[in-house]
Chain A
Amino acid sequence: MTNRSPLVKSIAAFILFVILEAVALVLISNESIIQQIRIMGFYMNMQEKTIKTKTDIKYYFSLDEVNEQLMAENTRLLQELAKYKAAEEAVDSSYSDTTTVNLPQPDSNVVSKMNLAVKQLSVPYKAKFTYIPAKVVGSSSNRKHNYLIINKGKVDGLDKDMGVISPQGVVGVISAVSDNYAYVISYLNVNQSVSAKLSGSNAFGPMIWDGKRINYAVLTEIPQHIKFHYGDTVRTSGFSTLFPPDLPLGTVKKSKIIKGTHHEIQVKLFQDFKTLLYVRVVKNNDRQEIDQLSKGNEI
C-alpha cells in the first residue's frame, strides 16, 4: 500500500468512500421510513429523467428516416401539383383558342376548370416537371467554383444539364452523372446564373452569384423604370428548361443603379448552402422538344 502511486491511492480511497456512503445510505433507508421515501423519490426522479433522455435520443436518431419519408411525400405532392398546373395551363390556353365553347363562369375555381377541360376538350395533359429526391453526400461552399455530389445517378434517370432545387431555392445544375452519383455545379459558382424575376412586377433578369458571401446573390438587368420594394421576393422566372417557375429564391436586400440604365439588386438567398442535405432533381419532360426547336431555329 505504501509503495503505490498517490493516484491509485486516491482512487482506492474514493471507491472506499463511495462504498461506505452507499452502505450508510442503505442502512438509513432500511431504518427510517422518511429517508426511505426521500431516497426512493430521488431514485424514481432520476429514472424518469433517464427514460426521458433515452426517448429523446431515440427520437432524434429516427429523424433521419422521418425526413426521408417527408421528402418522398413532398416530391409526390409536387409531381401531383405539376400535373394540375399543366392541366390549368391547358385550360387557360383553350379559353383563347376555342371561343365557341360556352363557358359558364370564367372565374370559377381551378378544379371546375380542369373538370371542364377533361370533359369537354379531353386534353391529354402530363406533368411538365418530374422531381427526383436526392441526398447530398459531398459539397463545398468556400470556393469560387463550388460543387455538390448527390446520391442519385444514371440509374435513377438523372442526366447532364438537369436543374437541382430544394424548397429554399435553386441548388445547381448537374454537370456529370455516374451510375449512382451525380456531380452538381453549385449555384455558388461565379459562372452559374439563374433566370429570376421580381414577384411584384414580373421583371426578369439573370441572377448571378458574385462570389463574395454565400447567402447573397446579385440580380442584374432589371430596367430602371421597374419599381420594387426592399423585402420583395425574388423567384425563378421559368424561362429556362432547367428550373420550374415561381420557385422562391430570396428577398431584395438593397439595390443600386448601374450606368443609369438598370438596377443591380442584391438578393438575400433563402437557401443555406452550409446545411443543405435534401435536394430534388428537376426533370423537364419537354426538354428535348424545346431543345430541338431552338436548335433548328438558331441563326
Chain B
Amino acid sequence: MKFNFASVLQFFLFVIAQVVVTSYVNFSPYIYICFYPLFILSMPTKTPHMILLSLSFSMGLLIDILTNGIWGMNAAAATFLAYIQPALLKVIFSKGELENQIRPGLADLGMIRYTIYIFSGLLIHLSIFSIIENFGTPFIFENLLRMVISIIINTLIILLIEFGVFYKNTR
C-alpha cells in the first residue's frame, strides 16, 4: 500500500465525517451511526498488520476525542476490528484472489459477498463496542436491540457510501 496523499486525506475525511455525523445527527438512542469501520474494512489486502492496527487505533482515538466521548471506546473497538480484518478477508476471499494487493470493495467482491463482509465486520465492531461500554450484562435487551438496529442501519449506510463514492472510481 502506498501512502499517497489520497489515502491520508481519506483517513481524515472519514474522521471528520464521523465526528460531524455523531455530533449533529441524532435520530434516536437506539441508533448509533458509525461508518468509519468502512475505512478499516476497505484497507487493501497485504497491508502490514502493524500499520493497520496503528491507523485504526489513532482513528478511533481521534473520533473519541473530537466527539467528546469516553476516550478509548472507539479506539478499543477499532483496534480489535483491525486485528480481525485479515482473518475476515481470508474467509471472504477465495484463495487465489488474495495473491494480489486489492482493495476489498464492492467492485471486487460483488454485492452479496460485500454485504456479508460489511455485516460481519460491523457485528464484530459493535459487539466489542457494546461489551466495552457495559462490561457485563445490564440492560441486555436494550443493548441487543440497539446493536441489531445499528448494524442494519450502518450496513445500509456503508453500502451507500461504497456505491456512491468508491464504486465509480474503480471502474
Name A residues whose Cβ lies closer than 8 Å to a Cβ of B.
1-2, 9-10, 12-14, 16-17, 20-21, 23-28, 30-32, 34-35, 38-39, 42
Contacts and interface: CB of A to CB of B under 8 A. Distances in A.
Given A24-B57, A28-B132, A38-B135, 9 more contacts: A9-B48, A14-B83, A17-B83, A20-B54, A24-B76, A27-B72, A28-B71, A35-B70, A38-B134
B135 A39 contact: yes
Given A13-B53, A20-B53, A31 B79 contact: no
A42 B60 CA distance: 24
A38 B57 contact: no
Nearest to B69: A31
Nearest to A27: B72
Contacts of A30: 71
Contacts of A28: 70-73, 76, 132
A20 B51 CA distance: 12
21 contacts: A1-B48, A12-B50, A16-B53, A16-B54, A17-B82, A20-B75, A23-B72, A24-B60, A24-B61, A24-B75, A24-B79, A25-B76, A27-B61, A27-B70, A27-B75, A28-B70, A30-B71, A31-B70, A32-B70, A38-B134, A38-B136
B143 to A, nearest CB: 14
B71 A31 contact: yes
Nearest to A6: B49
A21 B128 CA distance: 11
Interface in B113-166: 132-136
Nearest to A9: B49
Nearest to A37: B135
A75 B79 CA distance: 66
* Most chain B beta-carbon neighbours within 10 Å: one of A10, A23, A24, A31: A24
B30 interface: no
A39 B76 CA distance: 14
Contacts of B75: 20, 23-24, 27
A27 B61 CA distance: 10
Nearest to B72: A27
B80 interface: yes
A17 to B, nearest CB: 5
A14 B133 CA distance: 23
* Most chain B beta-carbon neighbours within 10 Å: one of A17, A31, A42: A17
B83 A13 contact: yes
Interface string B51-89: 001100100110010000011110110011011000000
Nearest to B84: A17
* Most chain B beta-carbon neighbours within 10 Å: one of A20, A28, A31: A20
A27 B78 CA distance: 14
B72 A13 contact: no
A10 B87 CA distance: 12
Contacts of A32: 70
Given A25-B76, A28-B73, A30-B71, A35 B53 contact: no
Given A27-B72, A28-B73, A32-B70, A13 B49 contact: yes
